[in-house]
Chain A
């Protein structure tokens, strides 16, 4: 091939040095990849990442709200299957995550974590629900139910394991989430959204917004159609207090920022699942 067009010739082999296609990533809202309403982006590792605005938060909450009925209405067994399928697809993208700079051990932990939570979907009710003894001819049952739309501020580190560890426990019980991804390491989250978009997960169950959580966080925390808030990713105590105050407007359930650094590789227990469950008490007469 003649090199007449000003291409860079890479080392005399005749084949011009290839210029990487710089990718411009978009947001993940309602199962689709829209551009940020604001049109803004910021550079990360040689690619452009969308900078979400408050209107993107609003759109994501709308999508998450619309998905609650369908997702919480599926059987727990079916949710488990869908999430397990996601884990299979994460396995298939293992090398891609490693290529983004995520340590291989962390990728493996993240996939295992996802499988672990997927397995809980049809077991959490037995563990967390109860048949209560009462003085009367009634069954009295405590049945856990999803809270609804959960706003999540994801931890910056570890980028993939941390994200999976906050998203999976919220959705496995039937909640839908709007996740504000930490601005320092968004690429694993974007790859995760590409996995989710091609999986069987209904659109809107997980919505991932890249950008600056310090800018969009208060809009999510104050949104009256969000039922719960997970502040695990908040490191600045002042910002955490501000978000908690905004969340008080409609009495959101708030999972506060961790007091001490979290060991993400350790057994997480069921606390993150039960944090976003409400308990419904049901009476039923015996012998009817």
Chain B
């Protein structure tokens, strides 16, 4: 285990005080052993996960998926269809868990909120008068209509995430990015995925990035904040480690690898570096931060490799949808096909799952 901070439980509250303290702290982090990180990630990727362990991993991975659609061509109909899939990924199998969250653009948040939570905790559909009924038409009374707001709790609660802050580039004036965030939260999003200003970070203006994250965090209110580092543009693992610490110091609830809009998305070594950072951040401050690799994770085999990495790097505490997520769209269908293979004993085909 490589500790990435020199002093455990040190007081980090003063680090964000000025450009100088931030720079001193971030550049004081030990460098990442590039070869070592890549070797370790590759080695952990060779673990063989079979039978019951595989079934468990597949169900956990499904529960960790942030089902994502971030296209210019997204329509309300597509978002509604995806919301239905998020609540019940495999309609043929009631034992299949729901995904962790639906992730959409801010303009689609109201549509997604109505589709996810207008239905009673995921198992009902709205009726004309705002009350709800179950699949068999029985009325559901759990405290009045819930259209546009998340239900109080329940096993099938699916979060609603929205990208904000001029996703994916982040190149807009701060006021516009904050307004973007507020709009998404007001629309019903309970998780916000923000992008950092890579331009500012790469030119060494850490204070600016820090202040922006703090401001967006304030604009989020109760919503969880995921900070996208866009590791494909950060060039080095050292930068990934610094950006991870910077985001966590500024108050991120999650650190996320990528937007999925640049050629290099989530990789195992980058996720390894970020998992080390959250592990050491908890050791130093006592606060646990989640990790979300996003982009390029398409197969069950990939997803299981990430789960092994989580278990071996950050530890079992992170093997939960509250602390680890997959930003993906096509991954879910592969997970469902593998799951169906395990339950039915025959290989499944893509024709039996929805297109998305």
Interface residues of A (CB under 8 A from B): 54, 57-58, 61, 65, 219, 222-226, 246, 249-250
When distances are taken between beta carbons in the complex, the residues of chain B under 8 Å from A246 are 346
* Highest count of chain B CB atoms <10 Å: which of A65, A224, A225: A224
Interface hits, B318-352 → A, CB 8 Å: 345-352
Contact A222 B351 (CB under 8 A): no
Identify B350's interface contact among A58, A225, A226, A250, CB under 8 A.
A225
Residue of A nearest to B340 (CB): A224
When distances are taken between beta carbons in the complex, the residues of chain A under 8 Å from B347 are 54, 57-58, 61, 219, 222-225
Residue of A nearest to B346 (CB): A222
Question: By the criterion of a CB under 8 Å from any partner CB, how many residues of chain B are at the interface?
Answer: 8
How many A-B contacts if CB must be within 8 Å? Answer: 28
Selected A-B contacts with CB under 8 Å, 28 pairs:
A54-B347, A57-B347, A58-B347, A61-B347, A65-B349, A219-B346, A219-B347, A222-B345, A222-B346, A222-B347, A223-B346, A223-B347, A223-B349, A224-B346, A224-B347, A224-B348, A224-B349, A224-B351, A224-B352, A225-B347, A225-B348, A225-B349, A225-B350, A225-B351, A226-B349, A246-B346, A249-B346, A250-B349
When distances are taken between beta carbons in the complex, the residues of chain A under 8 Å from B350 are 225
The 6 closest A-B CB pairs, nearest first, are A225-B349, A222-B346, A224-B349, A223-B347, A224-B348, A58-B347
When distances are taken between beta carbons in the complex, the residues of chain A under 8 Å from B345 are 222
When distances are taken between beta carbons in the complex, the residues of chain A under 8 Å from B352 are 224
When distances are taken between beta carbons in the complex, the residues of chain B under 8 Å from A249 are 346
Contact with A along B267-284 (1 / 0, CB 8 A): 000000000000000000
Distance, CA A191 to CA B256, complexed state (A): 51
When distances are taken between beta carbons in the complex, the residues of chain A under 8 Å from B346 are 219, 222-224, 246, 249
Distance, CA A54 to CA B341, complexed state (A): 12
* Extra A-B contacts (8), CB below 8 Å, given A61-B347, A219-B347, A226-B349: A57-B347, A223-B347, A223-B349, A225-B347, A225-B348, A225-B349, A225-B350, A249-B346
Distance, CA A255 to CA B230, complexed state (A): 53
Residue of B nearest to A226 (CB): B349
Residue of A nearest to B349 (CB): A225
When distances are taken between beta carbons in the complex, the residues of chain B under 8 Å from A224 are 346-349, 351-352
